[in-house]
Structure 1
Amino acid sequence: MGEHEDAEWRRVLGTLEQDPGAGFNLAHECCERWASDRGRLALIVRGPDGSSQRYTYSDLTRQGERAANAFAAAGLTRGARVAALLGRQVEAWIAAIGTWRAGLTYVPLFCGFGPEAVAQRLNSAGAEAVVVDARWRSVLEAARAHLRRDVIVYTVGASPEAGDHDFLAELSADHPATPMAPTAADDPAVVMFTSGTTSEPTGCAIPRSGVLALLPWFDHGVAAESGDILFTTTDPAWSFGLMSTGAAPMVRGLTRVMYAGDFDANAWLDIIEQEQVTCVTSVPTAYRRLIAAARERGVAPSIRAAISAGEPLDAATADAWRQLTGAPIRHGYGQTELGMMVADLAADDADLAPGSLSAVVPGWEARLFTETGEVISGPGQGEIVFRRPPFQLSATYANAATLWQSRLVDGDWFRTMDVVRRDETGRRHFIGRDDDIIVTAGYHVGPGEVEAVLTTHPSVLEAAAVAATDPNRG
């Protein structure tokens, strides 16, 4: 690793309150370190009915402590995996902070999954407990028939079913206080499932220090400042929502806004105006829909930047947003395995070229490889690979260690399976996947997973899922 890359990681380490070499608890770094400032706002949750709930870092720290105490009282011990079937709601963050504080591992699950997909992930992760919103309790119940072990169930909202724990009641119970677990930087914090090229999803094991892999991008790409209000729209069941635009801005002590309802362009515009949002983070598909509504009513002048990732950003969307707001959309590229590695940096705002990315993020080193593994110098097209930095978002695949090893080249370089073109100016243009993963509206969908579901129907003998271009969903 070169001098510039080393300097960036030294800078990142200098911004932390903990020394990763001596121990690192993610709950402290992204929450408790700010709790002494009683008025520092961490999270605003807006409901589709116009309601607003506001939580300081002190509030989340206190609730996270209570969640950790409840998990300990239930007999969950160091390293146990606690899954969550929760949406964009504060309980997702209380559960995550509680697991991290207690030395447990958080396993977020997307609420759009059906029972078999939920069961598959719970079995793969070896989950011992699940925190589930009442809206998806029936999905979990159907999944339990396929589980290899029973799980402790914590229900959020409505009356718990027989045998369930009421999560909110547990947070108010008089459980014995437990100290923050003295975890190491490489202890697991999250198992985040991504789509695989077969029907088996891969579980990325994110260590406690994995969030550090995102801070160079966050600092140079998002470039948020004290006092900024971030509207983070991505579901915390995915790494962009939980880590990139969740834990990373919390490490910086910033305020985030979440919308608990389904996508509603006018509701988003109301929130931007009423909360004086300065930065939006989302996927290009959402920006296209938001722009259509904003043309009718405008966008609040508080907006100074927007961040996108998950799928290619087209020039028409970027140009339309800039005309409406006067602010750029800075696009970024990353993977749950690695972090956020290539992006439009804030320093390049005047010269952004939508459809390409302006630079490799400071701290990262990239190469293009031909199909035969030769390095491409200068302009060209090939698979983009990255030298593994001191801190990588994921450490391995929790359920596919051999597959993880196959992604490594000469030990120091990690294959992305993504094809990129580098032009004469050094900008990177994303071409597509080198495997058969389908990217739709920012979601990475394994065709094998779709095919596996289709073939469960008695009328389907064989099935194949392929991608087709869509003007709205990519």
Structure 2
Amino acid sequence: MSAVRDDLHAELHAERGFSSSEIWRAAEARLDWPIERGLNTAHECADRWARDRARLAMIVRHPDGSSDRWTYAELARTSSRLASAWKAAGLVRGDRVASLVNQQVEAFIGALAAWRSGMVYVPLFVGFGTDALVQRLNGAQPAAVVVDYRYRHQLADALPLLTVDPQIYTVAGQAGRGLVKGDRSLWAEIDGHAPDFGMVETAPSDPATLIYTSGTTGAAKGCIQPHSMILTIQPFIRHTWAFTPDDMFFTGAAPGWSYGLYTTGAGPMSLGIPRVVYSGDFDPAAWLRIFDEEQVTYIAAAPSALRRLVPLAQRRGISSSIRGATSAGEPLDAPLAQAWMELTGSMIQDGYGQSESAMVLANLADPKKPDMPGALTVVPGFDIALVDSEGVEQESQGVLALRNPEYQGATGYLNRDDLWKARWRGDLFLTGDVVRRDDDGRYCFVGRDDDLIVTSGYNVGPSEVESLILAHPGVAEVAVVAAPDPARGSVVRAVIVLNGTVDRQQVANEVTVNVRDNLGRHAYPKIIDYVEELPRTDSGKIKRNELRQQTAGVRQ
């Protein structure tokens, strides 16, 4: 271990003796601006590091083997140009800008431009179908949408159903591919404006991002993340990944979700850490090649991706530069953790968080006790409790709650103060997730209290899927639950009661297509079972636990 890493670990161990308040004062002291002046995410993630004009921020590797390298100075100037273009187009502070792009630099140029302008960035997952996009765009009411040409057709399907008429900025392909009449070319707009837009001074509590999270009832909730989110995520990054200036960080997390946008994106950027992303579809061979060619030292990926990567790496080898990896979004199983240890000599560090709370549990770097897969420690800065639904503390298992958080991932839900207030019991914020504390004081995830399904790192709200299935004329009732899957952690399973008017195979085929097209490939039921009736309680509620315990049937 280098002297720099030794010094960092000593510093982290000292911090772990701090009170929560002391942790946050130390985090505030690392900001470039005094917290009393304000906090702007774009300044912390780009402009502060742009003083060193050669400092590398991001490498984008493409399937054809080419790459783009971006310094912090280039990101700062380019996002300033885009902010100037938006100002000229009439966008103002407080407007929302949605973004339907994937692992590409435009995701962060757009976010930085919005944040520096005092606008609110609205990331969208590129796998969303029409219904999911319409729901989120009508909720967010964006003044503009940035869209990559590969997903322009998805936006086109949603536009006739919108209650808002946003300006559209398309990342065009070769020879203007993907541009539709009326669109503005994102890069033409950037190139046509000067980098003269400064930095709006925003308060830590001012909204920076509106990200939609799935629930089990009703529409997806718009989670309001403030500019202080960039500060909230830093203790996790520092104490878990323990980056030094020599690290090269590879992330496979999509920027349409909070984990990809903040935890593995803006968070490392705020600490001046260079990142590598791959712009193509998941390809383990390409990942292994990039690890070697870019001398990647640390990897962030969902367990489902690592499960596909490990067998190939066992045959071909993996770069000796790799010192660690992290996973989140779905359970980390012991066989995968052991296989990775045998392959690299390092463990996969696990983490738990939500858009509403940020990352609050993790395998910390250089732990005092040996780590175990799935057994996590509280991230410094957070005070947690295990409680029942009324907020009464439980001894060893209960709903994970944050006690009087000084900083957390969100300040509320858009236009749903009632739902936000329902998450609180006095000074306790209930995450809705059940965890168990072992005798050593470590925490293990048990399940989601609201039946949210996590598949390949993506969240799926059962009610969204159920509403589409119930729209089929052959379906009388349906319940959607998670079913275990060795590759994805979990998959979506639909248990259907037919009404006898349509053949079951036709129902299966049409339901699969409908959900896939309207919610996304991550959300359609990979398993469909048929029953005469759904198990219910005396009060008529579906016994989802009973369904989850049943053996699943036919995979689609």
TM-score (norm 1): 0.96
Q: Any idea what SS the aligned residue of 1:61 has?
A: helix
Q: Deviations over 1:34-89 (max 9, x none)?
A: 00111111000011111111000011011100110111111011100000000101
For residue 400 of structure 2, the aligned residue among 366, 384, 389 is 384
- 1:224 corresponds in structure 2 to 243
Shift of 1:209: 1.1
**Does 2:32 correspond to 1:17?**
yes
CA contact (8 A) 2:299 2:325 kept: yes
Give the corresponding residue for 1:370. 388
Checking the alignment, whether the CA contact within 8 Å between 1:21 and 1:185 is kept in structure 2 is no
Which of the numbers 359, 379, 386 marks the counterpart of 1:361?
379
Residue 58 (structure 1) aligns with: 73
Checking the alignment, whether the CA contact within 8 Å between 1:199 and 1:452 is kept in structure 2 is no
Kindly state the Cα deviation for residue 270 of structure 1 after the two structures are TM-superposed.
0.7
C-alpha separation in 2, matches of 1:414 and 1:184: 23
Match of 2:334 in 1: 315
CA contact (8 A) 1:108 1:236 kept: yes
Q: Secondary structure at the match of 1:72?
A: helix
Q: 1:287: which partner in 2?
A: 306
Tell me the secondary structure at the aligned position of residue 85 of structure 2. Answer: helix
2:465 aligns with: 450
Aligned-residue offset at 1:433: 0.6
Letter in 1 for 2:403: R
Equivalence for 1:203: 222
Alignment of 1:210-249 (within 5 A): 210-249=229-268
Which structure has the higher relative contact order (CA within 8 Å, separation 6+)? 1
Does the C-alpha gap of structure 1 residues 56 and 144 become closer, same or farther in structure 2, counting only changes over 3 Å? same
Distance 1:170 1:333 in 2: 39
Output aligned runs, 1:272-421, within 5 Å. 272-348=291-367, 351-357=370-376, 359-377=377-395, 380-410=396-426, 412-421=427-436
Q: 1:372 to 1:392 in 2, by over 3 A?
A: closer
Output one character per residue of 1:113-142: Cα deviation in whole Å (capped at 9) or x when no partner. Answer: 112211110110111110001111111111
The residue type paired with residue 402 of structure 2 is: F
Does the residue aligned with 2:77 lie in a helix, a strand or coil?
Answer: helix
SS of residue matched to 1:98: helix
| Aligned counterpart in structure 2 of residue 114 of structure 1, from 120, 125, 129 | 129
CA distance in 1, matches of 2:218, 2:296: 40
Distance 2:281 2:43 in 1: 31
Structure 1 residue identity aligned to 2:265: G
Mapped contact 1:279–1:305 kept (Cα < 8 A): yes
Question: CA separation of 1:47/1:3 partners in 2, compared to 1, >3 Å: closer, same or farther?
Answer: closer
Taking only the aligned residue pairs, the percentage that are identical comes to 49
8 Å contact kept, 1:333–1:342:
yes
Give CA deviations for 1:142-187 in whole Å, capped at 9, x if unaligned.
Answer: 1111111211000101322111100000000036833321211111
Show the counterpart of 1:47: 62
Mapped contact 1:328–1:349 kept (Cα < 8 A):
no
2:24 is equivalent to residue 6 of structure 1: no
The residue identity in structure 1 corresponding to 2:51 is S
Counterpart of 1:64, as a letter, is S
> Aligned partners of 1:295 and 1:79: how far apart in 2?
50
The structural deviation recorded for 1:382 is 1.1
Q: Distance in 1 between matches of 2:356 and 2:323?
A: 30
Give the Cα separation in 2 of the matches to 1:349 and 1:298.
31
Q: CA deviation at 1:97?
A: 0.5
* One-letter identity of the residue aligned with 1:238: W
Where structure 1 has 5 or more consecutive residues not aligned to the other structure, the ranges are: none
User: Could you tell me whether the CA contact under 8 Å between 2:249 and 2:274 is conserved in 1?
Assistant: yes
Task: Identify the residue that residue 105 of structure 2 maps to in structure 1.
Answer: 90
Runs of 4 or more above 6 Å deviation: none
Alignment of 1:118-157 (within 5 A): 118-157=133-172
Q: CA deviation at 1:198?
A: 2.0
**C-alpha separation between the residues in 1 aligned to 2:75 and 2:44?**
13
Instruction: Show the counterpart of 1:36.
Output: 51
Unpaired segments ≥5 residues, structure 2: 1-16, 490-556
Distance 2:429 2:195 in 1: 44
Whether contact under 8 Å (2:77, 2:195) holds in the other structure is no
TM-score (norm 2): 0.82
Structure 1 residue 298: deviation in Å?
Answer: 1.2
2:87 to 72, 80, 84: 72
The residue that corresponds to 1:167 in the other structure is 186
8 Å CA contact 1:45–1:259 kept in 2: the answer is yes
Residues in 2 aligned to 1:396 and 1:243: alpha-carbon distance in whole angstroms: 17
Rounded Cα–Cα distance in structure 1 between residues aligned with 2:181 and 2:476: 40
Q: Distance in 2 between matches of 1:437 and 1:136?
A: 26
Measured in 1, the distance between the counterparts of 2:423 and 2:187 equals 42
Q: Is the 8 A contact 2:215 2:450 kept in 1?
A: no
Please give the alpha-carbon distance, in whole angstroms, between the structure 2 residues aligned to 1:205 and 1:234: 20
Q: How far apart, in 2, do the equivalents of 1:373 and 1:62 lie?
A: 48
Amino acid of the structure 1 residue aligned with 2:329: G
The superposition leaves residues 351-399 of structure 1 with CA deviations (integer Å, 9 ceiling, x where unpaired) of 1111211x1011111111135532124xx21111111322211110113
Aligned partners of 2:297 and 2:323 also within 8 Å: yes
CA 1:6–1:390 in 2, change beyond 3 Å: closer, same or farther? same
User: Hey, what's the Cα distance between the residues in 1 that align with 2:291 and 2:143?
Assistant: 39
RMSD: 1.5
CA contact 1:437–1:447 (8 Å) conserved in 2: yes
- Give, in whole Å, the separation in 1 of the partners of 2:33 and 2:228: 10
Structure 1 pair 352/171, CA: closer, same or farther in 2 (3 Å)? same
- Counterpart amino acid of 1:45? V
Deviation at residue 319 of structure 1 after TM alignment: 1.1
Check whether the contact 1:20–1:209 (CA below 8 A) recurs between aligned residues.
no
Q: Do the aligned residues in 1 keep the contact of 2:247 with 2:273 (CA within 8 Å)?
A: yes
Matched to 1:469, the amino acid is P
- Distance in 1 (CA, whole Å) between partners of 2:469 and 2:81 is 42
Give the conservation status (yes or no) of the 8 Å contact 1:288–1:472.
Answer: yes
Deviation at 1:275, TM superposition (A): 0.5
How much does 1:420 deviate?
0.6
Q: Which moved more, 1:458-467 or 1:251-260?
A: 458-467
Alignment partners' CA distance in 1, 2:333 and 2:28: 35
1:71-111 CA deviation, whole Å, 9 max, x = no partner?
A: 11110111000000001011111111111111111000011
Matched position secondary structure for 1:137: helix
